[in-house]
């Protein structure tokens, strides 16, 4: 299980393999910039910072609110106890998914900073080697049938283990350098009882992300029959598991 430390108003959670190395500076992107350790960044609603520390390539992500409330409260959340924080829930869930043998990044460390009834949070995960998202690939070329099958089988494996992903989209599905499929970003995710309704809602969300990105990108190599292929492989795998 992961280690937990309290330093003033900060609570840090650390994977046992990194507990003796992680300190509060690890959660500060400026610190890594000053050390010339930043090796990349991915911009979205918030920036994810990729940094290198010895043999470890990792990703630092701050928790930001979305939607209309995000414009008001930005990164502030109501504190109702450590285990109720989105930070703790995601970090704990990722440890459970690793134990289940699912392809997710190794959770390295997380931090909850409490000020009165408000908290802010950060999480560090291991970077997937030579990662390319499904979006990155589709901007360059079409997916092969084998790649579509691997995506479908991976999602089915997660769903058959009751894993609900709150934002399943083509930015959060990655191929590593060996062609294995990983799923990332489990904020607000959870393990649920298997149920066709939430599983299909997950798939519908994924379908909308293909359509959305097709409208946003001039070069996007995706066709309707590719989606049907993906669904067919998903259904076959879900039944057989």
Residues assigned a catalytic role: 167
Residue 164: strand pairing partners: 190
Please state at what angle helix 145-160 crosses helix 196-216, rounded to 10 degrees.
140
Distance between CA atoms of residues 146 and 139, nearest Å: 18
Question: Which of 136, 130, 155 lies closest to 213, judged by CA?
Answer: 136
Q: What are the CA-CA distances from residue 134 to residues 131, 168, 202, 210, 220 (Å)?
A: 10, 12, 16, 9, 11
Strand partners of residue 183: 173
Smallest CA-to-CA distance from 130 within 82, 178, 91, 187 is with 178
Tokens 């991915």 correspond to 42
CB within 8 Å of 93: residues ≥ 6 apart: 186, 189, 190, 191
Q: How far is 76 from 228, CA to CA, in rounded Å?
A: 41
């Amino acid at each position: 299980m992961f280690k937990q430390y309290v330093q003033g108003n900060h609570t840090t959670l650390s994977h046992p393999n990194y507990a003796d190395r992680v300190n509060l500076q690890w959660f500060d992107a400026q610190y890594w910039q000053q050390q010339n350790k930043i090796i990349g960044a991915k911009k979205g609603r918030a920036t994810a910072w990729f940094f290198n520390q010895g043999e470890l390539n990792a990703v630092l992500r701050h928790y930001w609110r979305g939607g209309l409330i995000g414009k008001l409260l930005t990164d502030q959340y109501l504190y109702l106890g450590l285990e109720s924080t989105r930070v703790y829930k995601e970090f704990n869930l990722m440890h459970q998914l690793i134990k289940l043998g699912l392809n997710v990044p190794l959770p390295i460390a997380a931090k909850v900073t409490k000020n009165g009834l408000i908290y802010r949070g950060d999480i560090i995960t291991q970077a997937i080697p030579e990662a390319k998202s499904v979006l990155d690939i589709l901007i360059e070329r079409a997916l092969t049938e084998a790649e579509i099958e691997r995506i479908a089988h991976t999602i089915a494996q997660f769903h058959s283990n009751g894993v609900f992903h709150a934002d399943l989209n083509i930015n959060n599905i990655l191929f590593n350098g060996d062609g294995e499929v990983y799923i990332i970003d489990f904020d607000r995710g959870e393990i649920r009882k298997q149920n066709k309704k939430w599983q299909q809602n997950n798939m519908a969300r994924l379908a909308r992300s293909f359509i959305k990105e097709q409208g946003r990108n001039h070069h996007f190599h995706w066709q309707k029959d590719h989606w049907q292929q993906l669904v067919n492989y998903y259904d076959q795998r879900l039944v057989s598991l």
